[in-house]
Amino acid sequence: MDSVFELYRKLCDLPEVIPHSQVVAHPKDIDLYVPITCMSAAREILKRNLYICIRKSECHSVYCKYIDGELFVFDLCCDYNHYFNLFSAVKFSDHGNRALGLDLSLNKCLKRFSRQGNYDNSDFVILSSFFGQPENFISCPGDRLSDDGDVLLVSKLILKKSRFRLLCLRLKVIISSLKSGKSFAFVGPDGSGKGFFIEKLKKVNSVKTVYMGDWFFKMQPLYSLLMKLPSPFNRFLYLFYFIENIIRRSKVAFWTFLGKTVFIDRFPGTNKPITLSGFPGFINQLIFKLTPKPDLFVIMYASPLVVFKRKQELTISEIDAIQIKQKELLSGHSHVVINTEQLDDSLNFLLGKWYEL
């Protein structure tokens, strides 16, 4: 496998590829202008190095990979019409896109202009020159420049139409994404890496997280007090636990309906009580059966000794018992088992599963 820097150099060596940023880890992307004639070759280079494609169109692709726990994102683009996707009157031609790709200063200037709707004196010459060349556009308002060369696109489009077009665009995105969201439940004993992996994966894209472990934190003191009641008089508390997690699960259903990806931290019936027997064990199994399931269970595995060293809340034997029971319980459901001791391999595997589903 090539290093990030070697990969960057290979991409930059392709004909007319222009880097728009340096090699840097997330939250910044590694932006490259890649002409359409080289897009397939650039994608192939990234695929050979096991980068995961999270967005792909004819003129725009985004590839990601975790290296030493850091996320690296390559953003390949040869069409910059998305800068003005709110304004259908503005369409760049191939000539205009090429000019934006080859001239980094122009690209940054136009990007600021499209987002903010204004420009400073240092941008004036660049913008007026670009908008003054008809060959840069397939379509654009004819009066985009005033007699003295001022860029009128602000008053003609951005200030007048941005709010309405922005609302329409957002509604279109929401409608197109309805019912397309996915949910992933991360399960494992304390110290297995659930929270750590969720935080790492959240960097890739906007996700919602829902905790489905113990009681609601605000009610914890009350529950702790009621649990001191002698058994079996405290068993009615299991009903509250079930109701709470149904409420939480309804949040998951709501966000997935809106097209969001939801990461569930723990899942009812798979936590520490999974090892219980008798009536408490029966209640735990019942809670699991009655709770709607996610699209994928992610079983976080590591050797019990490693888990114990990470978070010394359970004994090694308890950790081992929980891991065995979780695998048995989830064997009949859609699941994957990842070894959290292999950080990069596990993160990239989960990233691939995320965009595969």
Q: Do 232 and 252 sit in the same domain of this protein?
A: yes
Token duo for residue 58: 């004819």
Residue 347: which residues within 8 A CB-CB, separation 6 or more?
A: 66, 69, 197, 200, 201
Q: 278: which strand partners?
A: none
Residue 124 confidence (pLDDT): 74
What are the start-end ranges of the H helices in 148-236? 153, 159-177, 194-201, 220-226
Q: Do 197 and 85 sit in the same domain of this protein?
A: no
Out of 50, 77, 104, pick the residue that ends a domain. Answer: 77
Residue 186 confidence (pLDDT): 97
Out of 177, 209, 236, pick the residue that ends a domain. Answer: 177
Nearest CA-CA partner of 342 in 309, 285, 290, 302: 302
Low-confidence ranges of the chain (pLDDT < 50): 155, 158-161
Nearest CA-CA partner of 98 in 153, 14, 148, 33: 33
- Interatomic CA distance for residues 265 and 263, integer angstroms: 6
Q: Do 31 and 169 sit in the same domain of this protein?
A: no
Tokens 């932006």 correspond to 31
Q: Do 37 and 112 sit in the same domain of this protein?
A: no
Whether the Cβ atoms of residue 334 and residue 297 lie closer than 8 Å to each other: yes
User: 62 in helix, strand or coil?
Assistant: strand
Q: Do 69 and 130 sit in the same domain of this protein?
A: no
Q: Do 248 and 295 sit in the same domain of this protein?
A: yes
- State pTM to two decimals: 0.81
Tokens 């490259």 correspond to 32
Strands 52-56 and 335-339: unpaired
Residue 324 confidence (pLDDT): 95
Q: Do 222 and 168 sit in the same domain of this protein?
A: no
Number of domains in the chain: 3
Residue 43 confidence (pLDDT): 96
CATH number, domain of 323, equals: 3.40.50.300
Whether the Cβ atoms of residue 245 and residue 300 lie closer than 8 Å to each other: no
Residue 231 confidence (pLDDT): 67
- Interatomic CA distance for residues 96 and 11, integer angstroms: 22
Q: Do 159 and 201 sit in the same domain of this protein?
A: no
Q: Do 85 and 152 sit in the same domain of this protein?
A: yes
Quick: pLDDT tens for 59-116. Answer: 899 999 999 999 999 999 999 988 777 666 778 899 999 999 989 888 888 887 777 6
User: Containing domain of residue 66, as a range?
Assistant: 4-77
Out of 144, 177, 210, pick the residue that ends a domain. Answer: 177
Q: Do 145 and 257 sit in the same domain of this protein?
A: no
Q: Do 206 and 251 sit in the same domain of this protein?
A: yes
Q: Do 189 and 271 sit in the same domain of this protein?
A: yes
- Interatomic CA distance for residues 352 and 48, integer angstroms: 14
Residue 26: which residues within 8 A CB-CB, separation 6 or more?
A: 70, 71, 72, 73, 203
